[in-house]
Structure 1
Amino acid sequence: MLKYEVHGTGAPLVLVHGITHRRQAWYPLLEHLTDHRTVVLFDLPGHGESHDLVVRGGDVQATLRTELVELFDELGLERPHIAGNSLGGRVAMEAAADNLVASATVLSPAAYWHNAFDFAYVRLLFRCMTSSARLLAPVVPTLARSSAGRKMMGAVVSAHPERIPAEEFVADLNAMRRAIPAMRLIFPAAKVFDREISPEIPVTIAWAEYDRILRPYQARIAERRLPQARHLRLHGCGHVPMADDPELVARVLLEGSSPQAQAQAS
């Protein structure tokens, strides 16, 4: 089963982490969210403490959708708000297209590259990162003790990896290694997002200013293909922005899932 945890009070907001990450990626935001939302964190299949990713019927996207729906059912959630980063952003957008959620707020979603050749850069980058995580495993705890070490190892993923506590940083790299089998299943199935989302579902797309994985030019593609969405730039943030500026990211999530956003969409 999927490993999850629930915090706070208010309208439910489900948060979906990115590929090779884990639910704890959202921890820096909790103090800013839990007075306003019931926050649901979970590990995607093949990630963190959840079960391995087993692709059903050869369809990765349908498998992730089924896992999400089963989680909603288990928690008694009916059309909650959802937010996601990277792959989690893609999961959130698919959920919005399937009319499963009340709103979707996505941070650098894995959805808007040009073509397969363009996406090859992302695959190569993750291959290099996961290989480095395996090779550096024996010395990671030592390197992570210093902010300079964390900045060196995490610069591709975050603008300010030194802001991640050393123990969390080591756990993140362990999670990256654990998710390699799932990554190998997910990447070959990746394709550009081209589905329609009902204008009655508010969508916010926020792109990190210093995203080195899903480059900021993809934000311009998103603006053309989903013009009804609210488009933002996360200044001073990297691809995984939650620890870079927790207050900013939390504000974006709260605004994207607010009654005002829903009123404007309808």
Structure 2
Amino acid sequence: MDTPRIVYDRRGNGSPVLLLHGLGHHRRAWQRVVPVLARHHDVVVPDLPGFGDSAAPDPDCAYDIGWLADTVAAFCDRIGVRRPHVAGNSLGGAMALELGAGAAPPR
């Protein structure tokens, strides 16, 4: 899958945790939570495509929850994150549910 460039922060060690921001936000929305989680986890916090410092998606892509879930799953593959715990708010929460429901295959 060809995905847009995704900018992210990563801190800590341990089981992976993926934090997904909501609509109109960016990865810094999680800045107060990351240090706490990073004590025991490998915390990955991306800017979703078209938000924050990440590249905008191709204008011809189907920018919907399914596409976002597939894009985030491919991103996790690319950076070596396997089967993370996923938390999100707003749009990020919908994506977390989509990933958990198996819309994007577990990696």
Q: TM-score range by the shorter chain?
A: 0.7 to 0.9
Aligned to 1:80: 84
**Any idea what SS the aligned residue of 2:30 has?**
helix
CA RMSD of aligned residues (A): 1.6
- The question of 1:100 aligning with 2:100 is answered no
Name the counterpart of 1:2: 6
Which position in structure 2 is the counterpart of 1:121?
Answer: none
Code of the residue aligned with 1:91 in structure 2: it is: M
Conservation of the 8 A alpha-carbon contact between 2:66 and 2:98: no
Larger-Rg structure: 1
Structure 1 residues 27 and 94: alpha-carbon distance in aligned structure 2, compared to 1, 3 A threshold: same
Counterpart contact for 2:12–2:38, Cα < 8 Å: yes
Q: How many residues align?
A: 100
Superposition map of 1:215-234 within 5 A: none
Higher strand share: 2
Structure 1 segments of 4+ aligned residues over 6 angstroms from their partners: none
TM-score (norm 1): 0.36
Structure 2: distance between partners of 1:2 and 1:31 = 21
Out of 95, 98, 107, the position equivalent to 1:91 is 95
**Counterpart amino acid of 2:95?**
V
Question: Partners of 1:5 and 1:31 in 2: how far apart?
Answer: 12
Report the Cα offset of residue 3 of structure 1: 0.5
What aligned pairs does 1:1-266 form with structure 2 within 5 A after superposition?
Answer: 1-54=5-58, 56=61, 58=62, 60-98=64-102, 100=106
Q: Do the aligned partners of 2:16 and 2:82 also contact (CA within 8 Å) in 1? A: no
Q: Which amino acid aligns with 1:53?
A: P
Please, what TM-score do these two structures have when normalized by structure 2? 0.85
Partner residue, 1:157: none
Q: In the superposition, relative to structure 1, how do residues 3 and 59 fare at CA in structure 2: closer, same or farther (>3 Å)?
A: closer
Structure 1 position 59, deviation (Å): 5.5
* Closer/same/farther in 2, CA of residues 31 and 97 from structure 1, 3 Å limit: same
Q: Deviations over 1:141-166 (max 9, x none)?
A: xxxxxxxxxxxxxxxxxxxxxxxxxx
Take 2:24 and 2:63, find their aligned partners in 1: how far apart are those partners? 19
CA offset at residue 75 of structure 1? 1.2
